[in-house]
A and B are shown apart, each in its own frame.
Chain A
Amino acid sequence: MESVEKLREELLAAVEAAADLDALEQVRVSALGKKGRITDQMKGLGGLDPDQRRETGQALNALKDSVADAIDARKASMEGAALDARLAEEKIDVTLPVRPEETGRIHPISQVIEEIVAVLGTMGFKVAEGPDVEDDWHNFTALNIPADHPARQDHDTFYLPAPDGEGDEGRLVLRTHTSPVQIRTMQNGEPPFRVIVPGRTYRCDYDATHSPMFHQVEALMVDEKTHMGHLKGCLEEFLRAFFGMDDLPVRFRPSYFPFTEPSAEVDIGCSREGGELKIGRGGDWLEILGSGMVNPNVLRNCGIDPDKYQGFAFGMGVERMAMLKYGVPDLRTFYESDLRWLRHYGFASLDVPSLTGGLNR
């Protein structure tokens, strides 16, 4: 009978010497397999006397455990090394570019309209809309611009044929401003009104600062009490929120529009130092929008009693607001659909303007 101690030494040495998992398995079979050396020794226990049998049995069991442990430990270490080797082989170039994800953009005109709506919406204005193809009455006459009014000439109106072969009198127009929606709103409802009207407008003019199509946002507020102080308050708050400047200077000066009386142009502060236009305090002024108290004739034309109701209206060019706020240099580029421009000046789909989350990121 071999010495248990000697056997332990040999087997542990064999475990240690095993070069790979296959060799280690052979060691395990040769020691612990059915015909393994420890197994053989166990089988020989029957021939021993009880005392010796118990003593040798215990020693063999201990040997068996320690060899098994050694094999497990060796195996774990080999597996770890193998995994390390595999992982080392699996290395990738993390600097390779990721798979492309398409990123769309929101056009600045849409974005700016949403910004305007976000601010004025919190003041209780609701969005109203009307058709782009208008009749003469809604676009001009009802707005206190009679047929012979000099202001009509300034409008460079696009005309469409009269629908039923009526002469020039019945011809249709592409609305020259969003103001006809004021008329439709007041005709179809009862005061009080607080509406904003974003939309396409058209004038037959094309050069560096004019586009045959452009966008306006119009606002109308009518009730029994609204006066010019409210107009000032509303516009000061709006302009300061829109441009994100609490101290933006805002100036009202007298002007003339057929559909308002009194009328006011609104300027915001700016600086033109070094030929560069910057919005904000700077000692200079920039005309930004037209406004005024709704002309009593306009109210009357919509069937609203001007002795009881009054209110204000204002309108602004969306592209102009976008150009000023976002530094877009050229009006005409808004409609060219140049991908490079759209990607540069456009907004991410998740940039939804709100007054609680911020008009801009």
Chain B
Amino acid sequence: MKFTLGWLKDHLETDASLDDILERLTMVGLEVEAVTDRAQGLETFVVGEVLDAKQHPDADRLRVCQVNTGTETVELVCGAPNARTGLKGVFAPSGSYVPGTGITLKPTEIRGVMSSGMLLSEREMGLSEDHDGIVELPADAKVGDRAVDVMGLADPVIEIAITPNRGDCLGVRGIARDLAASGLGTLKPLNAVPVAGTFDSPIKVSLDFTDDTADACPQFVGRYFKGVKNGPSPKWLQDRLLAIGLRPISALVDITNYIAFEYGRPLHVFDADKVTGNIHARLAKPGETLLALNDETYELDGEMTVIADDKGAEGVAGVIGGLETGCTEDTVNVFLEVAYFDPVRTAMTGRKLNLQTDARYRFERGVDPALLKHGCEIATRMILDLCGGEVSNIEIAGDDPLWWHTLDFDLSKVATLGGTDVDSVEARRILEALGFSIQSDQGSRVTVMVPSWRPDIEGPACLVEEVVRIYGYDRIPAVSLPRDEQLPELALSPLQRRRAQARRLLAGRGLVEAVTYSFMPDTQAKLFGGVDDTMRLLNPISSDLDVMRPSILPNLLAAAARNQARGYGDMGLFEVGPQFPGSKPEDQQSVASGIRVGKTGPRHWAAPPRDVDAYDAKADAQAVLADLGLPADRAQVTAEAPGWYHPGRSGALRLGPMMLAAFGELHPAVLKALDVKGPAVGFEIYFDNLPAAKAKKSAAKAGLNLSALQPVNRDFAFVVDAGVEAASVIKAAFAAEKGLIVDVSLFDVYEGQGVGEGKKSLAINVVLQPADKTLTDADIDAVADKVIASVVKATGGELRG
């Protein structure tokens, strides 16, 4: 919402400075977005009259002008085609700075003629791109006056943001009312004295709705003007419209725009001679079309309100008028429309037509339902003043919209909700200054009537806001929150803690955390199980972000590909976040996923890097599970992972039926599709599948038994079929003598010469920890025999000879 300081002061009697006004606007909730003082830098330019313009003796296109500046007559050389004797222009004296050219003027000789000062174009003034000629000021402009005053530029333009609840401040008067209430001046009285008509309108108005749709337009006030003259509007009016970015069109149209911005009250004027028969407000007939004032044709549907004549639609109610019955310079008879349209229907109509207008903007936020007849009177006076003519009696269809309602309000709520103790006299004053009227008053309990222009006021909380915002939010004392308990409980739930912990652990293991979109291209989602139609966005921001991600991994791999394209080939990335296999709230999964790509590190003189492999990903997954207090060593490792992994080089960590994590090399086809240069491995840890953290009775750790006896190490190598899993050897060895065997580690895998085709050798180290006595050689041999027997039985292998 834009307006000028002078316009505001038409409604607000105030001595406050511009800065004070700006500050107060923001502090009552009308946030100042910009203030433009268009006169800034142009103050030294004055009205100059060209007393004489002669052809330059040495240049075809230049003229030598004698210019009266009000204080002296100067000679200057001017190249503008419109420089002529008698013209009044904008004179910039020597020494002044010309903003459009960036030059400070000084007397200059131009082709042998001394030129002092300059007559300016709009572009040279920095006002527009117009450089076809110099500015022509009105013939009655007084020579020597400041050009900015004559041009209507001296009035600063203020732009404020209006929140959707404040339709009343889409007019200058509403803004003035808020400022007056805040003590920054006095609201001037509204001048809406009725103008008596001299005849009855030949155009009648009817509201053609059913009971169900009557609220589309409860009231229509119309008035007929005859014999008007619709020329250009006066300069002061044009200046104000130009200042707020509106193009002056003709007096009648400018008046409707002016009143829309002055009172937030959109109007429409028909050229009465182009109206066929009478005016009807009704719902559009499906398929009915309208050629609108913006030269576009709109197809209407049965939900939209139109203003029609006997022939057809002549305007979309509350949105835009029709071209056919619009006013032109030739208009002599006018029919004025002042109507109330349902905000919701107007908004829907505008949305469906994809058409935003100043009228729609106001109607959908709710115009003042009590300002129909008054609005009509204000417009009448202005039309008669500016265009002359005669006016009819008012033509009214429908009843006054039902707007009035009262609220019971306990003034003590200002303190208990608003947090500040506003004196009750002051609270009453504020409410009344804003237009609320106090109907009954019993101590702190009052009944207030809400003003017609504030449909947003629904209950006591709204009244608290009104009082406190005008009183000043800055006067609310800040209070620290009282404690609920002695010390706050943990802020994080166990699952939240697990995610935070996993994040820190993975970063500690060298992986870099990424945050990627929750959406991805369908083509990539398909590589990761795909999504059904419920996870396909109806309005994606682009075709490559069209489905919700079923997995985090493709986003990480796509990031890897982008980094590789920048020359960074090796990396580890992870993300802890949601994935969306379905659209029900419980379908959303919480997952930590990571990838490692390329080499384990940069080339190094002492530690040559190697390709990442599935065991790196397995280590990441196991480390997270272990860190989260899960029995990572007890989890079964199975060679079954989702299809986006290499089928022979991937696995899952399971506890019973629950897959805690998957890991492995990523499928070469996936890498190819995502343009990732491998090797690349990944892991996924499914938080929702992890067993709940057990509530511990105490933080104490289990007791520690330190044996005084030395452990005994024995190595074994077994030759087994190549397909035998290492885990079965380790498990069998462990089981051989429970209690005594405390550790089994596998330290060698060998396939090749010496172990036979289709076989492999697995070497393990077994640690025996005696509990109460040193083991004899015989004891040790007995255990060794059991280990061998157990492994042979479990794997069908044999001790390597």
* Chain A contact residues, CB within 8 Å of chain B: 96-97, 99-107, 109-110, 114, 117, 120-127, 129-134, 148-151, 153-154, 158-161, 163, 171-172, 174, 192, 194, 196, 200, 202, 204-206, 212-213, 221, 225-234, 236-237, 251-256, 261-265, 293, 295-297, 310, 334-340, 342-343, 346, 348-350, 352
Residues of A within 8 A of B462 (CB): 261
Q: Which of B254-262, B277-285, B582-590, B639-647 contacts A (4 or more CB under 8 A)?
A: B582-590
In chain B, what residue has the closest Cβ to A130?
B585
Measured between alpha carbons, how far is A51 from B260 in the docked complex, in Å?
A: 144
Residues of B within 8 A of A293 (CB): 417, 461, 464
| CB atoms of B512 and A104 under 8 A apart | yes
| CB atoms of B347 and A150 under 8 A apart | yes
Known: A107-B515, A296-B461, A349-B507. A133 touches B489 (CB 8 A): no
Residues of B within 8 A of A129 (CB): 496
A-B contact pairs, 9 of them (CB 8 A): A123-B488, A125-B491, A228-B419, A228-B420, A231-B419, A236-B478, A254-B473, A335-B516, A337-B555
How far does the Cβ of B680 sit from chain A's closest Cβ, in whole Å? Answer: 15
In chain A, what residue has the closest Cβ to B509?
A104
How far does the Cβ of A239 sit from chain B's closest Cβ, in whole Å? Answer: 11
| CB atoms of A148 and B507 under 8 A apart | no
Interface size class of B (residues with CB under 8 A): 35 or more
How far does the Cβ of A289 sit from chain B's closest Cβ, in whole Å? Answer: 14
How far does the Cβ of B115 sit from chain A's closest Cβ, in whole Å? Answer: 38
B492: Cβ under 8 A from any A Cβ: yes
The residue among B476, B509, B515, B576 with the most chain A CB atoms within 10 A of its own CB is B515
In the complex, chain B residues 567-583 whose Cβ is within 8 Å of any chain A Cβ = 568, 571-574, 576-578, 580, 583
Residues of B within 8 A of A263 (CB): 465
In the complex, chain B residues 536-569 whose Cβ is within 8 Å of any chain A Cβ = 536-542, 545, 548, 555-556, 559, 562-563, 566, 568
Measured between alpha carbons, how far is A237 from B479 in the docked complex, in Å?
A: 10
| CB atoms of B461 and A339 under 8 A apart | no
Known: A110-B503, A256-B164. A104 touches B465 (CB 8 A): no
Known: A121-B491, A172-B583. A151 touches B539 (CB 8 A): no
| CB atoms of B548 and A160 under 8 A apart | yes
Q: Which of B72-80, B223-231, B599-607, B704-712 contacts A (4 or more CB under 8 A)?
A: B599-607
In chain B, what residue has the closest Cβ to A103?
B510
Measured between alpha carbons, how far is A213 from B542 in the docked complex, in Å?
A: 13
Question: A126-B491, A148-B347, A200-B518 are known contacts; what are 19 more A-B pairs with Cβ within 8 Å?
Answer: A99-B604, A104-B509, A123-B481, A160-B536, A174-B518, A226-B481, A228-B417, A232-B476, A234-B481, A237-B480, A256-B29, A261-B462, A261-B465, A262-B418, A296-B459, A337-B516, A337-B555, A338-B562, A348-B507
Residues of B within 8 A of A342 (CB): 512-514
Measured between alpha carbons, how far is A12 from B510 in the docked complex, in Å?
A: 65
B365: Cβ under 8 A from any A Cβ: yes
In chain B, what residue has the closest Cβ to A184?
B585
Known: A158-B537, A229-B420, A236-B478. A104 touches B484 (CB 8 A): no
The majority secondary structure among interface residues of chain A is mixed
B780: Cβ under 8 A from any A Cβ: no
* Chain B contact residues, CB within 8 Å of chain A: 26-29, 31, 163-166, 343-344, 347-348, 351, 364-365, 415-420, 458-462, 464-465, 468-469, 473-474, 476-481, 483-485, 488-493, 496, 500, 503-519, 533-542, 545, 548, 555-556, 559, 562-563, 566, 568, 571-574, 576-578, 580, 583-585, 587-588, 601-602, 604-607
Measured between alpha carbons, how far is A343 from B419 in the docked complex, in Å?
A: 45
Known: A99-B606, A122-B488, A133-B585. A159 touches B537 (CB 8 A): yes
Residues of B within 8 A of A196 (CB): 491
Measured between alpha carbons, how far is A346 from B571 in the docked complex, in Å?
A: 15
Known: A104-B572, A107-B514, A127-B493. A310 touches B534 (CB 8 A): no
